[in-house]
Chain A
Amino acid sequence: MVHIFKMFDKYIALDVNSGCVHVMDKLCYDIINFMNVKNFAPTSSEARFKLIDDLKYDYDRTEIGEALDDITELYNDGLLWSKDDFKVATDLKKNSPIKAMCLHVSHDCNLRCKYCFADEGKYHSEKGELMTAETGKKAMDFLVKNSGKRKNLEVDFFGGEPLLNFDVVKEVVEYARELEKKYDKNFRFTITTNGILLDDDKIDYINNNMGNIVLSIDGRKEVNDRMRYRADGSGSYDRIVPLFQKVAESRNQDKYYVRGTFTRQNLDFSEDVIHLADLGFEQISIEPVVCDEETDYSLREEDLPKIFEEYEKLVKEYVKRIKEGNGFNFFHFMVDLEEGPCIIKRLSGCGCGCEYLAVAPNGDVYPCHQFVGHEEYKMGSLHDDKGLNQELRSGFEQCNVYTKPKCKDCFAKFFCSGGCVANASLINGDMKEPHKLSCEMMKKRVECSLYAKAALAED
Chain B
Amino acid sequence: MKRIKTLNSASLKESACKGGCGECQTSCQSACKTSCTVANQKCESNK
Contact = CB atoms under 8 A, between A and B. Distances in A.
Contacts of A89: 16, 19-20
A438 B29 CA distance: 19
Contacts, number: 213
5 contacts: A23-B5, A89-B16, A341-B24, A350-B28, A418-B36
A380 B41 CA distance: 30
Contacts of A99: 22, 26
B7 A21 contact: yes
A138 interface: no
A176 to B, nearest CB: 15
A104 interface: no
Given A79-B10, A454-B7, A341 B32 contact: no
A37 interface: no
Chain A interface SS verdict (over half): mixed
B39 A78 contact: no
Contacts of B45: 342
Nearest to B18: A342
A336 B32 contact: no
A263 interface: no
A338 interface: yes
Nearest to B28: A350
Given A150-B23, A335-B40, A340-B41, 20 more contacts: A23-B4, A70-B1, A97-B22, A100-B25, A257-B31, A259-B33, A287-B35, A331-B40, A334-B40, A335-B39, A339-B43, A341-B39, A341-B42, A342-B16, A344-B15, A345-B24, A351-B26, A417-B38, A420-B36, A453-B7
Interface in A337-389: 337-346, 349-352, 355-356, 368-370
Interface residues of B, number: 43
Contact of A415 (B3, B11, B39): B39
Given A337-B8, A337-B11, A332 B37 contact: yes
A96 interface: yes
A345 B10 contact: no
A74 interface: yes
Given A24-B3, A342-B45, A454-B7, A287 B32 contact: yes
B22 A150 contact: yes
Contacts of A276: none
Contacts of B5: 22-24, 457
A350 B33 CA distance: 10
B17 to A, nearest CB: 9
Interface of A: 17-25, 27-28, 66-67, 70-71, 73-74, 78-79, 82, 85-86, 89, 92, 96-97, 99-100, 102, 150-152, 154, 156, 158, 188, 190, 192, 212, 214, 257, 259, 283, 285, 287-288, 290, 331-332, 334-346, 349-352, 355-356, 368-370, 414-421, 423, 438, 442, 445-446, 449, 453-454, 457
Contacts of B25: 100, 154, 188
Nearest to B26: A100
B28 A340 contact: no
Contacts of B10: 18-20, 78-79, 82
B38 A18 contact: no
B4 A349 contact: no
B39 A414 contact: yes
A67 B42 CA distance: 35
Contact of A27 (B3, B22, B23): B3
Given A23-B4, A24-B3, A337-B7, A370 B26 contact: no
Contact of B35 (A19, A342, A420): A420
A328 to B, nearest CB: 13
A27 B2 CA distance: 12
Contacts of A82: 10, 13
Contacts of A86: 12, 16
B6 interface: yes
Contacts of B3: 24-25, 27-28, 66-67, 70
A152 B23 contact: yes
B9 interface: yes
A417 B27 contact: yes
Nearest to A454: B7
A34 B34 CA distance: 37
Given A66-B3, A67-B3, A78 B29 contact: no
B46 interface: no
A291 to B, nearest CB: 11
